[in-house]
A and B are shown apart, each in its own frame.
Chain A
Amino acid sequence: MVNITIDDINADVPENYTILNAAKKLGIEVPTLCFLKELNEVAACRICMVEIEGYNRLSAACNTPVFEGMVVKTHSPRVRKARKANLELILSQHNTACTTCVRSENCSLQTLTKKYNLTETPYRQHVANVIWPQTSPLIRDADKCVSCLRCINVCRTIQGLGVWGLEGVGTRTHVGLSEGRDIFETDCTYCSQCVTHCPVGALHERNDVETVLGFIDDPTLTTVVQVAPAVRTSWAEMLGIPADETSIGYLADALRKVGFTYVFDTSFSADVTIMEEGSELVSRLGNPEATLPMFTSCCPGWIRFVKSQYPQLLPHISTTKSPQQIFGELTKTYLAQKNGLDPAKVRCISIMPCVSKKDEAANTPFVLDPTELEVDAVLTTRELPRLLAAASVDVERLESKGFDDPLGEASGAGFIFGATGGVMEAALRSAYFLVEGTNPDPDAFKAIRGLRGWREGSFTVGGTELKIAIAHGLENARELIEAVLAGTVNYHFIEIMTCPGGCVGGGGQPIIDGKELAEGRAKKLYAEDASVALRFSHENQSVLKAYEEYLEAPFSHKAEHLLHIEYGELLEQCGAKGEDR
């Protein structure tokens, strides 16, 4: 421990602390912009400058270590002026068109600008002018980039990809796609962790709200909206709704008020996924010739990762489509048939915690009419408030209403798809039933929950040992895959989710700068799973009815035709980089 004084408060702090850590511990706020704990400690923005007694220069609180007897001032006039001047310099290279910015009111630069009383700037504006393909699910507005470098480090550290890099030299140094490529030429998975970690509006999803409004406004169309499990945990975060009015029922009401014909739950098709994927797993396990380990297929960022990094693993990916796509397919087949709709006049819209889902939807044709898509538009959780606002939905006057039938019923197993380990746990619950003929305790596989990057488990099912593993974050996935390829580990079934924490931490989720929200959201999913009576996908009566009325049986010829896909073939269709259609 060392003894230091910050703003006249004297305290002992651990000697490996920075001034920023120490200030935080003492409850003193030092403003930051580029700093992101453990992910981006680069001391680039120079907003966290403080004064140290005995030193002529100011020091960055984020990368200056404490020392015995250190006396620090974090709010002196000199400090305030320096922070303000650095903000003015940052603003001279920032497009300050805040009115049209998706991050307005949720922007760290805007907050600082207000905090430091900046109503004008003295420097000449030099904003970047870079053309970006607007068809990409992920959009970068270079003129808003503050070069905090978070995107580069997040992509490198969490996802192990390095899509972003530093380009240029000297004062022209800027963030860009490494090697000057365009986004379609990179190995970007569209995970959009760079978006959720961007302090400003330089990175965002493609805005598809107008497309969705166009569907709703067309009286000849039937609009079907599905809501992903993780969205129920986060949709109200940016809306200022009282906590007791944020359950999924209120969202269903809001979406009905937007004007969708049907409001359904993707958790329903998550249950279908389990029926298919569970059967596929049991069948692979029973076949000595089958390709093992089997990997989950519900995460489109993961699929893009496999295509670009480990194409040799494509035969290992479960052929079951993702819940979003199964939902779209069933909407235009089963639902259309059941309710007498013309599939060509049905539009399936999904609300996802994910930007990569936009890419998945655009690249997966409707099986019965490949000129159409299974899912016609995808909105992220962040676009949802804009949709509600555009449709003049008063979020303060919502009531809790249920989903529509028949694609609205879901099990707790379907809910937990939104968290890392959830797909695995849901699959194990049903695989156990498929093999043993009886249900396990629904919490029997609880041990695999958690946030460790790479977890494993071993369960005895039908007298044989089933070895499973879970990874989230692609750098963790890479580590796991390398071990699998090297033969140092051995599993039957592996769940991979691209985003840290799974979909609850997805790249399409609401952003609170500097906060990782996945853990709290995941708790909500597990709590909801624990609170419902229906905990097994194979007991979802609506799912069973869909099989009875339409799909025949899990893995039947019909189900295989509609609900499965060879990812290797998709690779050939879309090109190795999965370019947009």
Chain B
Amino acid sequence: MLQAHPHAATEHLVEDVSAQLAAGMPNSCPVEFLASATRMLLSRSCGKCVPCRVGLRALFDLLDAISSFKATEREHALLRATAQLVVETADCAIGVQAAQLVLDGLHTFAADFTSHIEQKVCCDSFQVAVPCVAECPAQVDVPGYIALISVGRYDDAVQLIRKDNPLPVACGLICEHPCEAHCRRGLQDDALNIRGLKRYATVHATTDELPPAAEPTGKTVGIVGGGPAGLTAAHYLRLMGHSVTIFERHEHLGGMLRYGIPSYRLPQEELDRETSLITTGITVKTGVAVGADIDFKELRERFDVVYIANGAQLDKRLGIPGEDAPGVMSAIELLRRNASGDSPDFSGKRVAVVGGGNVAMDAARTAVRLGARAVDIVYRRRQADMTALPVEIEGAIAEGCFLAELYAPIAVETDAQGAVSGLKVAPQIIGAIKDRRAQPRNADTQPVTLHCDIVIVAIGQSIDLSAFESAALPSKWGALIADGHGIIKGHAGIFAGGECVTGPSSAIKAIAAGKAAAAAIDGYLGYKHRISTSLEIPDTIPLEQSTARVSARERSSSDRRSDFKALEITLSTEEAYQESSRCLRCDKHGLGSFEGGRNLSW
């Protein structure tokens, strides 16, 4: 009798193991992990050909000996030769690919192999106590605030977040939530919806107050740029007792949070409330562009310290014919105008957005809301290769955007009046995989024209360093060179951080940069102020039953596509309670209970 799913149980095991491997922190010794992986893969051998059946077993034995410090250079060389042999002589991909992992590992982890063989030590081993905290660039105490949410202490939850991140309202809506990537709950069912819970806490907090600032130090700090990095640094420096002035080029604070992120994702009034709270006691000079309105040199002289956090807000251009035609604009320009109340009218227009990142999705969805009749997202690779978050791509599609995959723009076509009439694109074929990414190349067909009235270019941003030329600050690839503390080597008193150092990145990374810079600047000024909390975190027992992750709902696409009101619907109390009870409390279990689980101050 034919069995429908003879291997169904094994398939489940494979799924579960894959999910556990993906959810766990990749913090094991690479040599030991490679040995374990080889041991697992050799069980897949069909057993016919010698290199796979015998060779993979031999590879495992050698890796096991090396990982337990029982091997010499002889075994190391034998491992390489045997892996090479299996790759070259195994009869099918089972042996070839398993052995290829070993060969690749020998290359990638060469230093680890050497240390295991020569020094008999495991190099660079690290232990992660609380994965979400470790993965959050700003080290926000995630299990702490989730525990507070689960007992209904929303004000305290927000206060706890504010110890490490002064923008919980914004982050509750738009954070890329790297904290969720290796959430240990994912080993059991799914990662917690950490961002959704943060949002819930900020919505339900009844009072939101800042802790008192330290005694005034009389020291002054000037900050260039009122985006997340600048705001964060300003906020903590103020709490440390320093006198802070922010210089913001635009009319309002927020940087890319305001001028880059559309208000359907982050409502402007919520951002305003947050920025006005955290800039209490800070001098804010908006509409003042450093470079144009005030010389950087003068700024440097006026302040004990200057922190540069002016972001990455210059447009990158396609460099194709017709790009200067009216009707071609950058995504940044579109989003900025829209945020400034100067939205273009796209009623009845056909819009082509070039790019596959989050900014392209924001521009496309903004175009929909500005009345566009049709929006094409033109990308030279495939949807799967887009760098935008899947949820953003899905949102754009749901709102009626069309993905024009595998088209590379080659010219903007114009009509007799010089207005945009179409985007000429070269069809692409997806091909070789290099550096883990599929490469497109021109397909063997003729270019085609995508008819449109507006072309929006969203292929990345660069950094405007013109204001700092006189200071001769070090830079590379168009970005300032500063270390993780914002320190610029050889330029005492000048610090830099956020996207002007990293290039386009995420809000939470900019916040982390601002926080690190605040600590470094405080130290530079001769202080050791601590930002701390005295909140007691309740003990809770994790929900034992495997339970699915609750995601926030969104307003229906037909409803939301005509306005800029928030599209995400905050978790209900029932949802938030269930979600928070799934937290495994890694601060209290595993290594967390050994390491104390949390940093009460920084």
A positions within 8 Å CB-CB of B = 16, 18, 41-44, 55-57, 59, 63-65, 67, 149, 152-153, 166-170, 172-173, 180
Contact = CB atoms under 8 A, between A and B. Distances in A.
B593 A168 contact: no
Interface stretch (B121-129, B175-183, B354-362): B121-129
B597 to A, nearest CB: 11
B594 A170 contact: no
B594 A172 contact: no
B544 A180 contact: no
Contacts of A173: 127
Given A41-B593, A43-B589, A169-B28, 10 more contacts: A18-B539, A44-B594, A55-B544, A65-B540, A67-B541, A167-B125, A168-B29, A169-B125, A170-B29, A172-B32
Given A168-B122, A169-B27, A180-B121, A42 B544 contact: no
Contacts of B126: 169
Contacts of A41: 593
Nearest to A34: B594
Interface string B586-598: 0011000110000
B593 A43 contact: yes
Contact of B32 (A16, A55, A170): A170
Interface in B95-126: 121-122, 125-126
A65 B593 contact: no
Nearest to A62: B593
Nearest to B125: A169
B123 to A, nearest CB: 10
16 contacts: A16-B539, A18-B539, A42-B594, A43-B589, A55-B544, A57-B544, A65-B541, A67-B541, A153-B594, A166-B594, A167-B125, A168-B122, A169-B29, A172-B32, A172-B68, A180-B121
A404 to B, nearest CB: 51
A213 B136 CA distance: 61
B122 A172 contact: yes
Given A169-B27, A173-B127, A63 B544 contact: no
A342 B589 CA distance: 63
Interface string B517-531: 000000000000000
Contacts of A18: 539
A149 B126 CA distance: 17
Residues of B contacting A: mostly:
loop
Contacts of A149: 594
A166 B588 contact: no
Contacts of B541: 59, 64-65, 67
B472 to A, nearest CB: 39
A539 B558 CA distance: 98
A56 B29 contact: no
Contacts of A64: 541
Contact of A169 (B127, B539, B540, B588): B127
B593 A42 contact: yes
Interface in B545-594: 588-589, 593-594
Interface in B119-155: 121-122, 125-127
A485 to B, nearest CB: 13
Contacts of B594: 42, 44, 149, 152-153, 166
Contacts of B32: 169-170, 172
A217 to B, nearest CB: 43
Nearest to B28: A170
> Most chain-B Cβ atoms within 10 A of its Cβ — which of A41, A63, A65, A169?
A169
Interface in B19-53: 27-29, 32
A166 B590 CA distance: 14
A169 B122 contact: yes
Contacts of A43: 589, 593
A532 to B, nearest CB: 46
A59 B122 CA distance: 33
B315 to A, nearest CB: 45
A64 B539 CA distance: 8
Nearest to A157: B596
B29 to A, nearest CB: 5
Contacts of B539: 16, 18, 65
A34 B45 CA distance: 43
Nearest to A168: B122
A61 to B, nearest CB: 13
A277 to B, nearest CB: 35
A168 B588 contact: no
Contacts of A56: 544
Nearest to B29: A169
Contact of A166 (B27, B127, B589): B127
A42 B595 CA distance: 9
A63 B589 contact: yes
A172 B540 CA distance: 30
Contacts of A55: 544
Contacts of A42: 593-594
Contacts of A153: 594
Nearest to A171: B32
B592 to A, nearest CB: 9
A168 B68 CA distance: 11
A170 B544 CA distance: 25
The 4 closest A-B pairs by CB, nearest first: A65-B539, A169-B125, A42-B594, A169-B29
A251 B120 CA distance: 49
Nearest to A65: B539
B544 A168 contact: no
A522 B121 CA distance: 45
Contacts of B540: 65
A271 to B, nearest CB: 44
> Most chain-A Cβ atoms within 10 A of its Cβ — which of B28, B588, B593?
B593
A173 B591 CA distance: 11
A64 B589 CA distance: 10
A168 B69 CA distance: 12
A41 B27 CA distance: 24
A169 B544 CA distance: 27
A41 B592 CA distance: 11
B115 to A, nearest CB: 11
A479 to B, nearest CB: 15
A58 to B, nearest CB: 11
Contacts of B121: 180
Contacts of A67: 541
Nearest to B36: A170
> Most chain-A Cβ atoms within 10 A of its Cβ — which of B32, B68, B126, B594?
B594
Contacts of B593: 41-43, 63
Contacts of A169: 27-29, 32, 122, 125-127
> Most chain-B Cβ atoms within 10 A of its Cβ — which of A57, A152, A170, A173?
A170
A65 B126 CA distance: 29
A167 B121 CA distance: 10
A29 B169 CA distance: 48
A560 B594 CA distance: 49
B332 to A, nearest CB: 44
B588 A63 contact: yes
A288 to B, nearest CB: 31
A8 to B, nearest CB: 22
Interface string B369-396: 0000000000000000000000000000
A153 B28 CA distance: 23
Contacts of B127: 166, 169, 173
A55 B68 CA distance: 38
> Most chain-B Cβ atoms within 10 A of its Cβ — which of A44, A67, A167, A172?
A172
B589 A168 contact: no
A93 to B, nearest CB: 14
Contacts of B588: 63
Nearest to A152: B594
A41 B32 CA distance: 29
Nearest to B540: A65
B505 to A, nearest CB: 29
B214 to A, nearest CB: 16
Contacts of A59: 541
B152 to A, nearest CB: 15
A41 B589 CA distance: 10
A429 B127 CA distance: 52
